[in-house]
Structure 1
Amino acid sequence: MTLLFSPRTWFQATLLSGVLGAVLPVLATELVGLAFPMSDVQVSASVAGLVQRISVRPGQMVKPGELLLELDNASQHVELRRRAVLLDDDSELQTARVRLAALTELLQMTELVASKSQSVSKEELVKARLEKAAAEGRLLQLVAQKARERVEHEQAQLELQQRTVRAPLAGVVVDVPMDVGEWAKPGDVVVRLADISQVDLRLNLSQTAAASFRVGARVAARFEAGAAQVQAMGQVNFVSPMADSASGLVDVRIRFANPNGRIRPGAKAVIRIPGASS
């Protein structure tokens, strides 16, 4: 048999391959995704109205519940004051209570006299009882009316509140597409808010590559930031249990803290997965 390598040549080749295997890194796959804000909300008005005041501007940070925009509310203020006056006026109710108390006492006295003598006719006794019953009925009517007035006052307050648009979450104002004097309809976007305190890096990966990710795993990424780059460490918070029926790709999301806003939503980011294949 003829040897292609002498024993010495074979030993050198084996040694060299072992050294190269120890020195050269395992090939890594670079995966590219896009950064998205944790929340991106298009805030709309719940009622129609004329834009009266805009309290925010693009780039401004807002807190939950902070006033964003106000619709014309003059008529709602007037209606609320009218309802408040009606609700506060309980003079008729107090009069009805006093009347009932007096008729109740009068009936008791009439019944007492009727039980001890014949000076009170049966007709007078029946009349006293009917007057007391009517007074009780009137008092119940007024109590129910006052309850309705309370509900109507609350409704007027709600209608006034609906003329204001407030921030549903903390974030930065991205856009204010409305101007003062424009007519806003229910469903029209009046302010766009984004919470960029955290960002989600979204990747659409093959099932093979997606198998490299587990929820809770820490992953490093390199984000575009103009001429520079931002290095950040995030955590896998979602690996879709389903693959897209059209492309066969799996949605994977990695969340990164972004307290200083250094990561701009919409920027591309690269992560390296050792030994993975795309």
Structure 2
Amino acid sequence: MKVAKTRLRDAVPGQWPGPALAGALCMALIANGCSSRPTNTYQGYVEGEFVYMASSQAGQLVDLAVQRGQTVAVDTLLFALEAQNETDAVRQATRQLQAAQAQHADLLTGRRRPEVEVTQAQIEQARADAHRLDLQLQRDEAQYRVGGVPKGQLDDSRGAAASAQGKVRELEAQLQVARLPGRAEQIRAQQAQVEAARAALAQAQWKLDQKRVRAPHAGLVFDTMYRSGEWVPAGNPVVRMLPPENIKVRFFVQETVVGALRPGRKVVIRCDGCAAPVPAAISFVSDQAEYTPPVIFSNETRAKLVFMVEARSSREDAVKLRPGQPVEVAVQ
């Protein structure tokens, strides 16, 4: 290159160098690698599809567990909001479920054992009374036959004996009922109460879980929007994440080239800060033409309309790229 520049300085001012000098200049440019850009290389830029992590519940930010620029693993705690009210709601719903389950179990088992034993004791007493009155009836019948008792006393004895037998049968029926579970309608109604209490507990637990937000994917904490102690409205992002699989490269090709590109075709990405070329594959080819974006500069082409193409690399290679970074993409 120094020789070429010397010869240019030695040339006559205002005149173009001769053929021999121009040929020497071209040979020097080729020897120094100053050739034109390959036709399969296109300019583009890196773009990130950010994930905005927010809670569906409002609350005061009590724990910002990550910081900007940190790389986190999946299920890592990102932030936590104050959750005293939700914790109390879960405790209340748990107790209501336990009460409904206990009532349902009581309907299935019938009366308690002490209550059954009371009924059994009453049956024994009624049987003893019935036996005593039956003996009295037998004596009155014998006395009535010999004229020892009047007809009215015999009738009273018969009535008392019959009443005692009826009492025995009544108590025996009560014992059978005491041993039976609740009616089917009552059991179904209480089962519905149990399910309703279980659903209320699940809802309360879900609200409590929403106060602690964890990373759904491994990736980079690109930015944080709140500081500890601030009030966070429901739905407002607190952490902005960038998973490696959400990093992509956008580049633009002419109409004459787009027809040969298909998703899955291999490309190589080069950038100023990349230690080595980054392999990738085309993931999307636009079917609509657009004007050349002003951030794309190309001195070799005069095309006014281009087609956008997106390419993605592996998770391991994607972390080498940064959103907004200009790149060159070589189609293989």
Q: Structure 2: which amino acid aligns with 1:44?
A: A
More helix by share: 2
- SS of the residue corresponding to residue 251 of structure 1 reads strand
Secondary structure class of the residue paired with 2:194: helix
Match in the other structure for 2:288? 243
For 1:27-176, list aligned pairs within 5 A.
28=39, 30-37=41-48, 39-89=49-99, 90-99=101-110, 120=166, 135-136=182-183, 137-176=185-224
Q: Displacement of 1:273 after TM fit?
A: 6.0
Higher strand share: 1
Percent identical among aligned pairs is 23
- Aligned residue pairs total 241
Contact 1:221 1:233 in 2 (8 A): yes
SS at match of 2:108: helix
Gaps of 5+ in 2: 1-34, 120-161, 293-304
- Cα distance in 2 between the residues matched to 1:82 and 1:198: 42
Deviation by residue 1:133-183 (Cα, 9 ceiling, x = unmatched): 994244443333222222211111111112122212111101111111222
2-side partners of 1:258 and 1:223: how far apart?
18
The alignment partner of 1:57 has SS state of coil
**Residue range with higher mean Cα deviation, 92-101 or 262-271:** 92-101
Residue among 194, 204, 211 paired with 2:242: 194
- The residue identity in structure 2 corresponding to 1:232 is V
- Deviations along 1:218-244, one digit per CA (max 9) or x if unpaired, are 22231121xx6642222222222x114
Q: 3-state SS of the aligned residue for 1:69?
A: strand
Partner SS for 1:234? strand
| Higher mean C-alpha deviation, range 166-175 or range 198-207 | 198-207
User: What RMSD, in angstroms, separates the aligned Cα atoms of the two structures?
Assistant: 4.1
Q: 1:41: Cα distance to partner? A: 0.9
TM-score, length-scaled by structure 2 = 0.59
Distance 1:156 1:175 in 2: 30
Q: 2:326 aligns with which of 257, 268, 273?
A: 268
- Does the residue aligned with 1:224 lie in a helix, a strand or coil? coil
Shift of 1:70: 1.0
Aligned-pair distance for 1:26? 9.9
**Match for 1:255 among 306, 312, 315?**
312
- 8 Å CA contact retained: 1:43, 1:189: yes
Q: Is the 8 A contact 1:198 1:256 kept in 2?
A: no
Which segments of 5 or more consecutive residues in structure 1 lack a partner in the other structure? 1-23, 107-116
In 2: Cα distance, 1:258 partner to 1:140 partner: 54
Q: Secondary structure at the match of 1:202?
A: strand
SS at match of 1:263: coil
Q: Is the 8 A contact 1:230 1:262 kept in 2?
A: no
